Each structure stands twice: as C-alpha cells, then as structure tokens.
Amino acid sequence: MSVKYIILGGLMFSCSHGYEIKSQMTQKMFGEFGINDGQLYPTLKKLEADGLVVKTVKHQEGAPSRHVYSITDRGRADFLQWLENAEGEDRSFRYDFFRKDLFCIKSNFLRFLPKKKAVEKIQHQIEEVTNTIADLKTARSHMIERKVDPLHIKVWEYGIMNYETRLEWLNGFLKEVQKWRK
C-alpha cells in the first residue's frame, strides 16, 4: 500500500483536512488497514515539502484551526503518472495466496491436531469469513446509498467475491477434515 498515492488519489476528488482524509477516505476504504496518524501527517508534510499538495489554514471560532490540503498541478501529474504506470500491478508471485496466509500454511499440517481441534479451527475461520462478507456487503449497500463512485463499489465487490470463494473452500476443506477417523 502506498500511503502517498492513497492520499493523492483522495485529494484528486476534493480538498480535505487531515482528520477527514484519515476517517472518511482511508478508514472507510481500507478499514483496519487504514492510515494512522503516524503515517498520515508525516506523509502530508512530505507531500507539501515536495510541492505535491498545498496546505491552507482555516481558522474556526471556538475550535482549532483546520489544515485543508489540496493537490497541486505537480501532485496531479505525479499521481496520474503513478496511476498509468503498470509497475507492481502484475501478480508475479504465484504463491502469495499461500505464503501470505498463515491459516493456509497451517492447513497443510492440521492432520497433526486432533480431529476436534482441526474442525474447531476451520469452523472459526468460517465464522470469521462469514462475518467479513456480511460487513463488506453492508458497507457496499451504504456506498450505493451514498452514491459512491461505481468504480469503488466494483472494487468492493471484488473483495466480497474473494471472501465468498474462501468461504466455499473452507466449507469443502471442513468436509474433508470431517472424513478423518477420530
């Protein structure tokens, strides 16, 4: 995840203050993988120093001043160059699904657990994935209600499909484990 380009991409839609970037744009888009303060504010400061964004301070009565960020022409050009570039898009690591998924790695060795423990472990994964699918579908519905960019919704649907495929696999895997003796 490139924090720089997530921020610049969000600013391509509109100007925004730091808290809004964090809470509205990245938190809703990336959930638990959103941008935290330790990433956001240093990145905004660097983007400003590099001339990619400009900060305007808006004073408010009875409240702290807001720092509103806007993308500059240079920032827009940098973002569009990154967007057009294909670097990193190809999924060249064929086995990432395995290497980056600890449950998938452990699944190869579940036969060393008692059947009951293995079944519980898989059932826990099924519950987690089912809850995630429900959360993603709820978020998708809210996105549709708020008339979010249809491209964002399509990306969200891709995520839902990935989890639905994982759920299907988990259910088949559970059936296989349940065939074991004891």
pLDDT at site 170:
97
Q: Is the dihedral of CA 32, 26, 158, 87 positive or negative?
A: negative
Phi, psi of 93 (to 5 degrees): -95, 95
Q: SS3 of 60, please? A: strand
Distance CA 143, CA 167 (A): 23
Q: Per-residue confidence of the chain (182 residues) as pLDDT tens digits?
A: 488 888 888 888 776 756 566 555 544 444 444 566 677 888 889 999 999 999 888 888 888 888 888 899 999 999 999 888 877 766 655 666 667 788 988 998 898 899 999 999 999 999 999 999 999 999 999 989 988 889 989 999 999 999 999 999 999 999 999 998 66
pTM > 0.95: no
pLDDT at site 83:
87
Distance CA 169, CA 9 (A): 35
pLDDT at site 87:
77
Q: SS3 of 51, please? A: coil
141 burial type by CB count under 10 A (0-12 exposed, 13-18 middle, 19+ buried): exposed
Render 67-118 in DSSP notation, one character per residue: EEEEE-HHHHHHHHHHHH--TTTS---TTHHHHT-HHHHHHTTGGGS-HHHH
